[in-house]
Amino acid sequence: MENKTVTVNDEKKILLSSEQTDSKGLLHVVGWFGVFISVPFFLCVPLGFTDLVPSMIDVFGLVGLRVPAGITIAGLLTAAIGFHRD
């Protein structure tokens, strides 16, 4: 019979590999949700320069640009949380 010893590092590796398979699908959903939150505001800027849609300043005003900027940053932070293991 072969005597196999398991160290703490081996247990940690096993735990991390099983943890990754369980939560990776949910985290990817969270990451893509954050991307979808940010994409409309990213597309609005170049389309606003070409006059295909009203510019962000026309819609929100100069002071109100904090609203779409905050939503975009929140979406990007959510995407960073969702994709942090990739």
> What pTM, to 2 d.p., does this model score?
0.67
Quick check: is 70 in a domain?
yes
Quick check: is 16 in a domain?
no
Quick check: is 42 in a domain?
yes
CA dihedral 66, 72, 78, 83 (to 10 degrees): -150
* 27 neighbors 80 (Cβ within 8 angstroms): no
**Quick one: pLDDT at residue 67?**
92
The arithmetic mean of pLDDT across residues 53-71, rounded, is 91
The whole domain housing 63 covers 27-82
Quick check: is 20 in a domain?
no
Task: State the pLDDT confidence band at 69, using cuts at 50, 70 and 90.
Answer: very high
Give 5-61 pLDDT, tens digit per residue: 656 665 555 555 555 555 678 999 999 999 999 999 889 988 988 888 998 888 899
86 pLDDT more than 80: no
Report how many domains make up the chain: 1
